[in-house]
Amino acid sequence: MAPHNFAKLDTACVPTPCHVLDLARLEHNLQILKRVGDEAGVSVLLALKAFSCFAVSDLVMKYLSGTAASGLYEARLGRTRFGGDVHAYAPGLKDADIDELLDCSDHLILNSLQQWGRFRSRIEAHGGVETGLRVNPMHSEVENPLYDPCASWSRLGAPANQVTAADLEGLSGIHVHALCDHPYDAFDRMLSAVEARCAHLFGSVEWINLGGGLLITDDGFPLERFIERLAGFRERTGLKVYIEPGTAVALHAGALVSQVLDRFDYGAPLAVMDTSATCHMPDVIEAPFTPDLLGATALPRNTAMDAVDAHVIRLGGPTCLAGDIIGTYRFEMPPQVGDRLVFLDLAYYTMVKATTFNGMPLPSLALWDSRTDALEVVKSFGYADFEGRL
């Protein structure tokens, strides 16, 4: 399969801005993840923090075992909109939320031994929920500290060298997470670190959740090696193994369609779009990165004004934030006012992070099947969605 199918999309069929999900690529990804689960003997969960579009929940649950939630509301979404097992974790838990969180969850992962001690009696009185501890394997693969769960002074999980087998009394599992959109080799190194630094805990638990952050569904990912590595780990340890991909579920399956609102030259060619980096794709600014754009080549974010020509245009959003810049691109045919542009790979960590800063409307949501060209706009947003948050 090609990395994406959006060259075939008729953008005139959707409003702008609009998230478009390709059901064909989404199902392709889910089939890969199901193969991993079946052949490696592990359970695969959707990480809702990355992708939580319940309009495709039936398709997702046809292939996966359940969802991984990052708090009460995601757990509730997993229970009511997706089904399957719900695994919940949050660095901080409110006393007032515990009972409902337990009602919504099959697994509850505590962030610290102090948290476990504080809520243990209520968890055990509730019954029916397996509990685990998040453990920091003290192994960093993520270069940007903003996204590194194992960075120095991390608040995410108890350091492995500070947890003993006796500390896990009453708990049935452990959870580790150390990746962020990584290839296989990073997972291989991480798992080696987990085997070395958490081995003293394996005999005291029944399961381990290895987290997500791995580009399992990317083209060229070595599936056979990954499956073999997972199966070998499961057999050596005797543990039930969970993984919780997020990006991998929607990789290459989403695009954001936007329209050019204005074109001008203030020392360099500029265009204003009806979609915003800060509102609709905040990782573009936070990471930072420049999203791929259909029919154009992304240039470095530090491209100088005096290095451009008439085919290079910087695209920005319509907000008043000076840094609301999507990216700088080289076009064969520079776009004009009214043209529609398709930003690629903006399904994961986009819909879940969107805001209405400056009164910006949220993008609509369309489901499109590139196999049949069937398209349905399933959600549009208006003023009430902006006002209701205020």
Task: Determine if residue 324 is labeled as part of a ligand binding site.
Answer: no
Residues facing 298 on adjacent strands: 329
Q: Is the peptide bond before 288 cis (omega within 30 degrees of 0)?
A: yes
Cβ-proximal residues to 337 (8 Å cutoff; 6+ apart), any chain: 260, 261, 262, 263
Burial status of residue 213 (CB atoms within 10 A of its CB: 0-12, 13-18, 19 or more):
buried
Contact 153, 111 (CB under 8 A): no
Contact 293, 327 (CB under 8 A): yes
Buried b (16+ CB within 10 A) or exposed e, 269-291: bbbbbbbbbbbbbbbbbeeeebb
Contact 351, 52 (CB under 8 A): yes
Rounded to 5 degrees, φ, ψ at 310 are -70, -15
Report the C-alpha gap between 255 and 315 in whole angstroms.
Answer: 16
Annotated binding site: 283
Annotated binding site for substrate: 283
